[in-house]
Structure 1
Amino acid sequence: FTQRADHNVILLNAPRLEAGPWYLTASQNTRVVGQYAAQFIDYLVSRGLYLPSLHLTGLSLGAQMAGVCGQNVKSGRVRRITGLDPAGPLFNKWPKSLKLDASDAEFVDIIHSDAGIFGYPRQIGHADFWPNRGLAPQPGCNFKEIKMRNPDAIVELLFCSHWRSYQFFAESVLNPNGFWAVNCNNWKDFEKGICNEHNSIVTRMGLYVDERARGNFYLRTNPESPYSLT
C-alpha cells in the first residue's frame, strides 16, 4: 500500500496480548482488542472518516480480531474485511460473536492457506479462496525446499503455509491482473477441470476481488514470488 501511495494505513499491534506461546490467552484477547479497535474506528468516523472506504485486513488471530471489530462498530457497517488464514484452533468451537464470519461486514473475503492446522478449516466468508487447496504444505513450503533456503528455519517450517495467505494478498496489491480463481464445489472438481473460466464464475483473489463473488474459489500459485501464475 505504501508503494501505491493512495491509501491511509493504520497498523494495530498488540504483541503483549497475542504472545505466541500462550495461545489460549491470546485467542481470548482477540475480543478485547477487537472491541477497542471498533471504538477507535467510531472515533475516526466522528472526526470525518468515510466508513464505506474502510477495509479491515488481518492475519490469523488478527483476522478473528477484525471480525469482532466489525461486529462492534456502532457508527455504521464496515464495507470489507479480508481474513488471511483466520486462526482455527479453539475458534471452530466458539460462537459467531467471538470470531470472523460473513455477517461482520458488507463483504468478507477469506484466503485459506493452512486450513485445519493453524487456519480455520471451513468457509466463513462471502467468498473463500483456497489456493493450492488451501492446505499445508503450500508450494515452496515443504521441508526440503525450506531447508535449501535456510537450514535453521524452524519457525518458517512451522508457519510457511500459514504465512502464504498474507504473502499472496500483499502481492495482489501491486498485481491487479493476477490470482484468478474459479468458483467450484471442491478442489477435486477444480483439479479435473470440471470448473473452468468457460463454465464457472471467475474472480481475482486478493485486493481486487469482485465484491459480488459468493462461494468457494480455487486456484494454483507458484512456489515462490511472484506467486501469481499471471
Structure 2
Amino acid sequence: MMDSSSSCTALLVAEPGSLVILVDYWDLVTISRPYMMANTRQIANTTAQFIDLLVEERGVRLSKIHVIGFSLGGRISGLVGDRVKSGTLGRITGLDASYPWLPPKTKDEFLDASDAALVVTLRTSTIGSYSPPGHIDFHANGGHIQPGCSTWYLPKTAEQVCSHYRAVWIMVEAVRHGNSAFPACRCDSRESFVHHSCTCETVNHFGLSPNTSAHGNFQFSTNAAPPYSQPLEHKK
C-alpha cells in the first residue's frame, strides 16, 4: 500500500527472498467521498482476507507480515490489522497516515498501536497529524513542513502536499541504506530536540529494522534534497 513502485523495488533489493505485494486501489478511492469511505473498508476487508488465506493455506507466519501504507493507505493498513482473523499482524508502518475528507467516526478507523504487534508511524506533514500514536513514532523535522518544500512561490497547500509525499522518499532511502540512515532521538517535541533539551540517550533508526524495544516519540532532521538522512550530531 505504498505510493511508488520505487518503494517496492527498494524492498525487493533490501529483503531478497521476500514477497512484496502491492495493493493498487487508486480507482476505488478517487470517485467520490461516499464511495471512498465504502471502498476503503472493502479494500481493507479484501486485503485482510488475502492475508488470512496466506496464513491458513500457505503457512505464512503472521508475525512475519509487514504492512506498509502511505497517506490513506496508512488508514487502510490499520483497518487491515483490525480485520485479520488469523491472529495479530506482525507489523504496520504508517507513512504520514492521513484521513482526507473522511474524519474517522470510530476508534477502529484510526491506525493505532492495537492494530499490530508493532506499529511504527512516520509523520512528515500536518496532513498526517491526526493519527494516534503507535508503539514507535518518528517525526521528521517535527512532522510539519519539510526542508525543500517551503518556497515563496508555493501556496501553503502545496507545501503540505510536498511534505506529505516526502514520507515515501524517506522510506525508500531508509530501506536502501538499512540501519545506517535516519538516526532519531527519543524526544517528545521538536522544540526540545532543536534546543538540545533531550539527552538523546535512546536512539532509534527509522526503517525496516528499528529497535523494537525502544518505544515513544523520536525526532530527526533531514536535508532538503537526497540523501535526506542526517547524522544525529547532538547526542549527549
Q: Please classify the TM superposition score into its range, dividing by the shorter chain length.
A: 0.7 to 0.9
**Which residue of structure 1 lines up, in the alignment, with residue 144 of structure 2?**
135
TM-score of the superposed pair, with normalisation by structure 1:
0.86
d(CA) in 1 for partners of 2:165 and 2:152?
18
Matched, 1:185 2:188: yes
Runs of 4 or more consecutive aligned structure 1 residues displaced over 6 Å after TM superposition: none
How much has 1:90 moved relative to structure 2?
5.0
**Which residue of structure 1 lines up, in the alignment, with residue 229 of structure 2?**
228
d(CA) in 2 for partners of 1:158 and 1:193?
26
Counting only pairs closer than 5 Å after superposition, residues 1-230 of structure 1 correspond to structure 2 as 1-4=11-14, 5-19=16-30, 22-23=32-33, 25-46=35-56, 47-89=58-100, 92-115=103-126, 118-136=127-145, 138-143=146-151, 159-176=161-178, 177-197=180-200, 200-230=201-231
How much has 1:2 moved relative to structure 2?
2.3
Indicate if the aligned counterparts of 1:140 and 1:146 stay in contact, CA closer than 8 A. no
Q: Structure 1 pair 54/196, CA: closer, same or farther in 2 (3 Å)? A: same
d(CA) in 2 for partners of 1:104 and 1:132?
26
The CA deviation string for residues 190-211 of structure 1, in whole angstroms up to 9 with x for no partner, is 11101133xx311001222111
TM-score of the superposed pair, with normalisation by structure 2:
0.84
Structure 2: gaps (5+ residues): 1-10, 232-236
Indicate if the aligned counterparts of 2:185 and 2:204 stay in contact, CA closer than 8 A. yes
Indicate if the aligned counterparts of 1:89 and 1:119 stay in contact, CA closer than 8 A. no
Indicate if the aligned counterparts of 2:119 and 2:135 stay in contact, CA closer than 8 A. yes
Indicate if the aligned counterparts of 2:128 and 2:164 stay in contact, CA closer than 8 A. yes
Q: Given residue 124 of structure 1, which amino acid in structure 2 is its aligned partner?
A: P
Instruction: Using the aligned pairs only, state the percent identity.
Output: 35
Q: Given residue 188 of structure 2, which amino acid in structure 1 is its aligned partner?
A: N
Q: Given residue 37 of structure 1, which amino acid in structure 2 is its aligned partner?
A: T
Q: Structure 1 pair 13/24, CA: closer, same or farther in 2 (3 Å)? A: same
Q: Given residue 209 of structure 1, which amino acid in structure 2 is its aligned partner?
A: P
Residue correspondences, number: 218
Structure 1: gaps (5+ residues): 148-154
Aligned Cα root-mean-square deviation (Å): 2.3
How much has 1:93 moved relative to structure 2?
4.3
Q: Secondary structure, in 3 states, of the residue corresponding to 2:128? A: coil
d(CA) in 2 for partners of 1:142 and 1:229?
19
Q: Given residue 55 of structure 2, which amino acid in structure 1 is its aligned partner?
A: V
Indicate if the aligned counterparts of 2:92 and 2:120 stay in contact, CA closer than 8 A. yes
Q: Secondary structure, in 3 states, of the residue corresponding to 1:2? A: helix
Q: Structure 1 pair 188/209, CA: closer, same or farther in 2 (3 Å)? A: same
d(CA) in 1 for partners of 2:70 and 2:89?
18
**Which residue of structure 2 lines up, in the alignment, with residue 152 of structure 1?**
none
Q: Structure 1 pair 53/87, CA: closer, same or farther in 2 (3 Å)? A: same
